[in-house]
Amino acid sequence: MSVIRAVPIGVGHYLPSRVVENAEFEKWLDTNDEWIQARTGIQRRHFAADGELTSDLAYAAALDAIKDAKIEATDIDAIVLATSTPDQTFPSTATKLQAKLGIDNGFAFDLQAVCAGFAYALTIANSLIVAGQAKRILVIGAETFSRIMDWQDRTTCVLFGDGAGAVILEAQTGDGTANDRGILSCDLNANGKYNEILYVDGGVSSTQTTGVLKMQGREVFKHAVTKLASSGEYALEKAGLNVDDVTWVVPHQANLRIIKNTTQKMGLSMDQVVVTVQDHGNTSAASIPLAMSVANKNGQFKRGDLLLTEAIGGGLAWGSIVLRW
């Protein structure tokens, strides 16, 4: 049976040039490189320069993905941009990116699901392609979390970084089996009962300020491993596959211990997992496409490989995608 599949045809990323090593934080906080590495796996992260905006990061990542896909920007007919750190309250960062890319038609919008943003964005983009609403979608995760840090809070400010990653999905015909290339299944979840364990204490309608990130890390950690493992397993089941079929896991890069525990819980090997958290920190919605792009540039992915990606973050919101490269 012939079906439409959303197939990745290009992937790219951008990291701001400023690299901040763990030791930097020792200058003003009661923390150290040893603690940060042991508890999180993070060694360094990138921070955007003054005046460098989320749309600038997204633009650079988009150009990289467009080059990888060997298409023109104007071949893209939709942009779905996941971010919790937009340039402005409105217009959307996606429309700013659209203008920078010189695209005059199609549609563009932002999507906000915090660290699960890219899983949500891929799911929405997949639905749009399958429904015939768009043929080539630029799916972006772009963040400047350095702008919402409390620099006196050692429990959060050492964890996050800035960056952007992009994947271009194209409508292609598949035969409806799990051997097709492209997105094979998606699983999205949210439970707003947990709003208060990870949030920003400001906003347009509440304080008219941007606010800073607040997190009960240990609580989030507990939810992360179980929810990610069960979502990943469910997404595989939906695609008619199981863990033995997985070639690569591209997890949200928040904490190496979460990644290891989830991998172990699912019965997968760390050799199959793309890990970039040591160099990027947690870049929220940007972390999965950043990791995908880095792995692709390293030559890790082969055509036909089965990828499982999973993410969880504020909301709580979480989800998984199964796709064949």
Out of 22, 115, 186, 280, the active site residue is 115
Q: Which of 111, 224, 268, 286 touches ligand UT7 (CB under 6 A)?
A: 224
Q: Which of 13, 252, 255, 296 is catalytic?
A: 252
| Smallest distance, ligand UT7 to C-beta of residue 33, A | 10
Q: Any contact of residue 258 with ligand UT7 (CB under 6 A)?
A: yes
Member of 103, 166, 220, 292 binding ligand UT7 (CB under 6 A):
220
Helices (H), the chain: 33-40, 54-69, 93-100, 117-130, 217-238, 256-265, 277-280, 287-297
Report, in Å, the least distance between residue 161 CB and ligand UT7.
11
Residue with nearest beta carbon to ligand UT7: 217
- 298 in catalytic set: no
Helix (H) / strand (E) containing 111: strand 107-111
CB nearer to ligand UT7: pick between 79 and 225 = 225
Q: Which amino acid is at 322?
A: V
Kindly report whether the peptide bond that precedes residue 97 is cis, defined as omega within 30 degrees of 0: no
Give the CA radius of gyration of the chain: 18
Backbone angles phi, psi at 201, to 5 degrees: -85, 30
226 makes contact with ligand UT7 (CB under 6 A): no
Under 8 Å between Cβ of 64 and 166? yes
Our answer to whether residue 115 is catalytic in this structure is: yes
Can you tell me whether residue 297 is helix, strand or coil?
helix
Which candidate, 40, 37, 80, 269, places its Cα nearest to that of 168? 80
Determine whether 191 is an active site residue: no
Pick out residues in 114-153 that bind ligand UT7 (CB under 6 A). 115
Residues 254 and 277 sit within 8 Å (Cβ to Cβ):
yes
Binding mask 73-112 for ligand UT7 (x = CB under 6 A): ----------------------------------------
How far apart (Å, rounded) are the C-alpha atoms in residues 165 and 142?
A: 6
Among 194, 217, 245, 247, binds ligand UT7 (CB under 6 A): 217
* Residues classed as catalytic: 115, 252, 282
Residues engaged in binding ligand UT7 (CB under 6 A): 31, 35-36, 39-40, 115, 154-155, 158, 217-218, 220-221, 224, 254-255, 258, 282, 312-313
